[in-house]
Structure 1
């Protein structure tokens, strides 16, 4: 693990007072920074919190919001609950996947900009069909609106920030 990553982890652990009972909050903070939970970081926090790696890994795999796989900068969730499904959310999913060149088995674009997921319900049934981008709800979606949204994200100034951050 790089020194800068270790420093970030130590800051996160310190902000939680190295409290074993805060392991979920610690993982949430790590995932906010890295967009997933790298295995080496789980091992590191297990050691620092005096927990077994199995216990930490068990927490990481139990909760659906945690990911052990890298995700894109923009996480797009398409609702496939009853209200959305009846209102053609599948066509929206197909449009987004086709436009970005991703699949259910490979949900993240090569450039790490987009991850496309389906969820059982986003709790916005009255706005169906809906999708979220980084937890911002986009109501009354259509395949055309979905394509325009993705294009807008691709062209946004923030889309280029990641490349600049690494220099």
Structure 2
């Protein structure tokens, strides 16, 4: 039986080692504190050294032990804040994203929010609202980019994927 060429076998060993190192990903951790950048944390782990603060499990939600009532404020949609009951171990991740302990209506004292009196607001003496200077077309400024077939040059640049052709109009880039 033939033996493998030494150059070939060392190349295979190096390739396997690099795949092993790349496949594991990340750096070793002590497992004690979560790392916000660790792939397993989903970005919810916090910084190394930050100890998570757990709410007192003194019966905040007596009906469900091990759970706490929070006001969940969805990122990008604070108007959709709603009350949730989550596990105490889930609380630190919610706290890092701006959620608060207790039900959402805790700040209003249980009262309905003021929706106004129902009367028309004072429109300023019955005059038409100011809608601009009138008579003139508003100056919207120069266009961001010129589309296909439009003039281009020093005054206007062509949009992405277009080039200013010999006849100073925007043409598609081909090739």
TM-score between the two structures when normalised by the length of structure 2: 0.20
Higher RCO structure (Cα 8 Å, ≥6 apart) = 1
TM-score between the two structures when normalised by the length of structure 1: 0.21
The structure where helix makes up a greater share of residues is 1
